[in-house]
Structure 1
Amino acid sequence: EVAPFIGGGRLAATAGSLPKALKDLGHDIRMMMPNYRSVNERKYVLRDVIRLKDMPINFAQQQLRASGKSAFLPDSKVQIYFLDYKPYFDRLSLYHDPKTKKAYADNGERFLFFALGCLETLKLLHWQPDIIHCNDWQTALIPVLLRTVYKNDPFFKSVHVLLTVHNLADQGDFPADILAQGNIPAAQIYPGLEEQLNGKANFLKAGLLNADLFNIAGEAYAKSVQQNAALTFGLAEVLRARRKGLIGVSSGVDTVLWNPETSPHLEHHFTSANFSGKLQNKKSFCEANGLVFDERIPLLAVQIKANASHAADELERVLQRVLNKNQVVLFGTCEGKLQKAAAKFMKSHAGRFLFKTEFDEQFRHRLMAAADSFLLPVCDDSEPESYLQAMQYGTIPITFEHMSYTEAVIDYTDKPAAATGFVYSSCKGETMAKAVESAVALFTDKKNWVKIMKNAMKKDNSWNSAAEKYTRLYTQLVMNGRK
């Protein structure tokens, strides 16, 4: 997934921003993704690559033919290639059938094929990289293929692989015999730590075992997963085995897109030296969305994800407790009990509570600019970049201590002078509510509240900073090899 071509999550955002920053640092970088149906070829000017036309890919005991197209990442000189194979990628959705809501049964085949296609593309382009940077389970079989199928291929002799994990929970589990379709042996590298997990072929586990180096998005999160097995979703043993190769690297936020001084989404611009525009945004947002504007009452934005239904009970308790002293905007996807509770709050707290399940990018920006604080009430690490975006707009994050990028949030309780937000240590409703109440208490202290807003806005969460950290990783990998 690469933004803006496709996808809206953390992986797509990273792939759409980090390469630009790396290019600015002088790296020769190329990208590759599947040519999904929803990629707008006319808008992004995709062109056929002659030498990639009808390239043979040996797969599942047959030779399939795929082609390649190319374009540039918008607003950059980063070239991106698209693997075009209609049977696997010309579909209504990326991973799930929109009718049945179930994952495509052949997802394992699709992304094993894509991994093979990436390597064959490099050979046909005669472009030998020093580093192949893979992301998540979708490309995690590339290091496996390099250690097996392409082990004796001189073209890849000096190539090193870095695997970045954005989501440990999403691992790519498929039938155990899937690896045979790519001629990959069933066991690799570590005796007793084969690629299977719970009887299935686990793409992410395979990548972690075979990549030369891997990193987890978020320095604090990388430390947490080594200390708390529950956060590894069954991969604790693998992470222990590769602990010397496990590094945490913070990601970034698009500081051009999320710039309160210039964002085209905002009605009123503002800076860390003058917050009057932020207050005007709050007033405009409240009036446009049926909320009563009162600058003395903090506006809390709460993002809920579809895969956080397990937190519904805890979040409902939080909302019941904090609505008396906050206005709340609950936005995102939820169902069942939480959806019913939200509908109830809309009636019982009219003018103080807003529930939005459908919204566009403009709404998201205007909410972040209007809100005083932002809560991401989940403990499964889904979309933590949201609070980096909030910080860009001087909106104070309230976050779980084990999530990715929490190193960007300095807890007011621990270091009030340097604080950029509030951190809670448990996903229990009681703990979350106390963190929100701490924020409410500080909100009445305007002098210190403005100070924490300024700290948050001045924090360097840019992709340039992240690119410099990745450059050090690349150098380490080329100089020292596998860890």
Structure 2
Amino acid sequence: MNILFVASESDPFVKSGGLGEVIGSLPKQIKKKGADIRVILPKYGDIADEYKNQMTTKAVFNIQLDWRNQYCGVQELQVNGIHYYFIDNEFYFKRPGLYGYGDDGERFVYFNKAVLEAIPHLDFEPDIIHCHDWQSGLIPVCLKAQYSDKPVYRNIKTIFTIHNLKYQGIFSKPLLKSLTDLDDKYFTQDSLEFYDQGNCMKGALQYADVITTVSHTYAEEIQTPEYGEQLEGVITSRNKDLHGILNGIDIKSYNPVTDPNVRVKYQNSLFNKRLNKERFQKQIGLPVNKDIPMIGMVSRLVEQKGYDLVAHVLDEILEMDVQFVILGTGERKYELFFEDAAKRNPTKLSTIIKFDDALARKIYSSSDLFLMPSLYEPCGIGQLLSYQYRAVPIVRETGGLKDTVKPYNKYTGEGTGFTFINYNAHDMLYAIQKAVECYHNKDIWNSIINQIKKVNVSWEKPAREYINLYKQLVFVLN
């Protein structure tokens, strides 16, 4: 099978979050299972020169975008055994950062068109185009509307994966209509129309052959008004084609035995893990004490990640005999609040406002507990990483957090973490208190760590599920 991944970011080239992690690691596992998988991305200005200098030009052509005739270059490169293509247009992509520009609608319509126009030039005929999030959401629409009568495209199937339903690519109907050159019938309620605007993700949900999302619970949640972001009706109408497949992580990269950011290497040794904690405490200016439980939190500082809950009971958290380390950037109100709190509690709280992968890995390898009190979480990677580094997760039971963290049960001794159900600050506080109490009981703590050791967070099982889905789509539906 030939699979073409289309995405707006991928490690090791450019990454703003979980999507880049997934696209950077999943293809390697799918390739191991026998598929010819390739990835196509925008050629951003932020891609390091070490990669740009190795790219070779595969094709050059022009794309009609409204009244403009735009240049498109297709460049290619192989990294870690995976074949990558890059859509080259400096006007759209040679800028700092990935998203957040006023012309994002035009940039990604161009990218979708460029991917489809590039296919005859690739020496690679995909059986399936696997699209990820709204930035590639128009590909299933345009493929069926404008390309299905052409021999090269006739048998191509599409899969669309929702990584985060909140971000949908909503733009004015006149803009999308002029850029895509789609007929008026594609801007009705049954297609792209969304409250008198055009919605790229809705288009993908309507026209993709199969829809996936990144956990079983999230697949159920997004069919409800609470989590459906006003698309629950569309998703429910396609629920027979909807599959929840959990994400994994690259366990070779995230490995405390080989990770260069881990000062004292370990796998299951809590003694060595606590030596890392002592060195990290010294590095960030917290009192050095291997026995005090350290709570880590690594994420964007936004409401979705539960920072309003943390802010609401922060004083109560810091009244406990704990240390708390927060790493990330996000909404200014949260950055200022937690920076100020750290100044007031210098022996208890360290707030680091930046995105730093090396520092994140030090937090995972030093923390005893890892907090993820998310309002919603399609899958979550933090709790999977915490398992790898033997930090016990404290999570709210939503999306992939519910699917991956088994709550500790004091009666049976079973569990891989601590959970709470309601989005409530004091429910979260109680879960933290319970976790800290268990930390000080050596037998309970060792039991939890021993159960975490058995959790498989690799891409092995998810990749197998994707392969089965691809086979069904190519061999059964054809």
Residue 275 (structure 1) aligned with residue 270 (structure 2): yes
Q: Deviations over 1:171-207 (max 9, x none)?
A: 1011112133222234459x74331212211100110
Q: Deviations over 1:409-443 (max 9, x none)?
A: 11114995441112221221111111111211211
Letter in 1 for 2:271: S
Question: Does the CA-based 8 Å contact 1:161-1:212 persist in structure 2?
Answer: yes
Residue 170 (structure 1) aligned with residue 167 (structure 2): yes
| 1:180-195 alignment, distance < 5 Å | 180-188=178-186, 192-195=189-192
1:216 to 189, 203, 213: 213
Distance 1:7 1:313, change over 3 A: closer
Residue 366 (structure 1) aligned with residue 362 (structure 2): yes
2:75 to 51, 63, 69: 69
Residue 119 (structure 1) aligned with residue 123 (structure 2): no
For 1:468, the equivalent position in structure 2 comes to 464
Secondary structure of the structure 2 residue equivalent to 1:31: strand
For 1:458, the equivalent position in structure 2 comes to 454
Offset of 1:156 from its aligned partner? 1.4
Distance 1:334 1:67 in 2: 34
Distance 1:29 1:445, change over 3 A: same
2:287 to 274, 283, 292: 292
Letter in 1 for 2:283: A
Quick check: 84-93 or 385-394, which moved more? 84-93
Secondary structure of the structure 1 residue equivalent to 2:226: helix
For 2:82, the equivalent position in structure 1 comes to 78
| 1:50-449 alignment, distance < 5 Å | 50=58, 52-53=59-60, 55-73=61-79, 76-96=80-100, 104-177=101-174, 178-188=176-186, 192-226=189-223, 228-272=224-268, 274-308=269-303, 311-325=306-320, 326-335=322-331, 337-358=333-354, 360-381=356-377, 384-413=380-409, 417-449=413-445
Offset of 1:328 from its aligned partner? 0.8
Offset of 1:237 from its aligned partner? 0.8
Quick check: 394-403 or 300-309, which moved more? 300-309
Letter in 1 for 2:403: E
Question: Does the CA-based 8 Å contact 1:212-1:245 persist in structure 2?
Answer: yes
Q: Name the TM-score, length of structure 1 as normaliser.
A: 0.91
Secondary structure of the structure 2 residue equivalent to 1:231: coil
- How many residues of Structure 1 are paired with residues of Structure 2 in the alignment? 468
Letter in 2 for 1:372: D
Secondary structure of the structure 1 residue equivalent to 2:319: coil
Secondary structure of the structure 1 residue equivalent to 2:222: helix
Question: Does the CA-based 8 Å contact 1:180-1:186 persist in structure 2?
Answer: no
Residue 17 (structure 1) aligned with residue 22 (structure 2): no
Q: Name the TM-score, length of structure 2 as normaliser.
A: 0.92
Offset of 1:451 from its aligned partner? 1.8
Secondary structure of the structure 1 residue equivalent to 2:295: strand
Give unpaired runs (5+ residues) of structure 1: 97-103
Question: Does the CA-based 8 Å contact 2:392-2:417 persist in structure 1?
Answer: yes
Quick check: 25-34 or 311-320, which moved more? 311-320
Letter in 1 for 2:183: P
Distance 2:398 2:318 in 1: 26
Offset of 1:342 from its aligned partner? 2.5
Give unpaired runs (5+ residues) of structure 2: 1-8
Task: Quote the RMSD (CA, aligned, Å).
Answer: 2.2
Secondary structure of the structure 1 residue equivalent to 2:394: strand
For 2:6, the equivalent position in structure 1 comes to none
Letter in 1 for 2:27: P
